[in-house]
Amino acid sequence: MSEDLARQSRIPDGSSASEVDCPRGGVPAPQPYACPVSTTTAPGDTVIQPSAAEAVRIGVLAVQGDVREHLAALTALGAEAITVRRPAEVELVDGLVIPGGESTVMDKLVRAFELREPLLRRIAEGMPAYGSCAGMIMLADRIVDARPDQQTLGGLDVTVRRNAFGRQVDSFEQDLEYAWSDPSDKDTVHAVFIRAPWVEEAGPGVQVLARVSEGAAAGRIVAVRQGNLMATSFHPEVGGDRRIHAEFVSIVRAHRLQQSGASQSPEREDTA
């Protein structure tokens, strides 16, 4: 890996990729890089204890971006949250969160860490994935203003525009109507937009979960889901609202239960 890429991934020169700072603890995470609950949750957080059937391991792509906030949110919801920085770790998880950051840098680091091919394969196999901000770009099939050499993992039949809302100084917050999985839930979500993309076009199989409600960008799509893939332009991990992460954890649990059921079903014998 080049010195420039190492700096962008915030890995100290000469240190192991396993030396990951856990949220609010600063203690390097041991193999398999799962941070203990005490370092991933804020004081006063209630940690949900799932049943054995509901236990899932969710990875956070940890090459660049706001990794620790996602780890904290997932852990508070009862998931085993681990960092993913090596190809072997891609195989350990039931689902993956791709955090915010800088999409072009993230793309380069995913390739530098030889993560691209295993991630493409797992997503194609149906592994649930959630991308926030830059993560939305990474999951998009198409980018309007991509750099010449920029690649995405794809999977979402959407076209996105990078930095659509402007520069860092144009960052803003807004309450949005959101299509929760529970139709009776009419609560809004408080969205934090930081150099965020938006969805220019969504394919027929894509469910639009949220749009900008006011301002010059009113009506722009900022949250989508397609099958096991989900993405938001905004950063739910920043404000401490766990509901977006809870929706994703539910997707991961449902997929894992489905996979477990399929693997345990006896083969049916054909009879004459």
3-class SS string, the chain: CCHHHHHHCCCCCCCCCCCCECCCCCCECCCCCECCHHHHCCCCCCCCCCCHHHCCEEEEECCCCCHHHHHHHHHHCCCEEEEECCHHHHCCCCEEEECCCCHHHHHHHHHHCCCHHHHHHHHHCCCCEEEECHHHHHHEEEECCCCCCCCCCCCEEEEEECCCCCCHHHCEEEEEECCCCCCCCCCEEEEEECCCCEEEEECCCCEEEEECCCCCCCCCEEEEEECCEEEECCCHHHHCCCHHHHHHHHHHHHHHHHHHHHHHCCCCCCCC
- Residue 171 is predicted with a pLDDT of 82
Distance in angstroms between the alpha carbons of the first and the last residue of the chain: 60
pLDDT at 30: 32
Any idea which residues carry the catalytic annotation?
133, 235, 237
Q: Are 159 and 143 in contact (CB under 8 A)?
A: yes
pLDDT confidence of residue 239: 77
What pLDDT sits at residue 21?
35
pLDDT for 50: 63
Residue holding tokens 């996979």?
A: 259
Tell me which residue has tokens 């609010």.
24
Pick the CATH number of 3-263 from 3.60.150.10, 1.10.3720.10, 3.10.20.440, 3.40.50.880: 3.40.50.880
Which pLDDT belongs to residue 172? 87
Per-residue pLDDT, 267: 54
- pTM comes to 0.80
Integer Cα distance of 134 and 222 in angstroms? 12
Task: Please give the pLDDT value at position 48.
Answer: 65
pLDDT of residue 180: 96
Radius of gyration of the chain (CA): 18
Residues of the chain with pLDDT under 70: 1-53, 168-169, 262-272
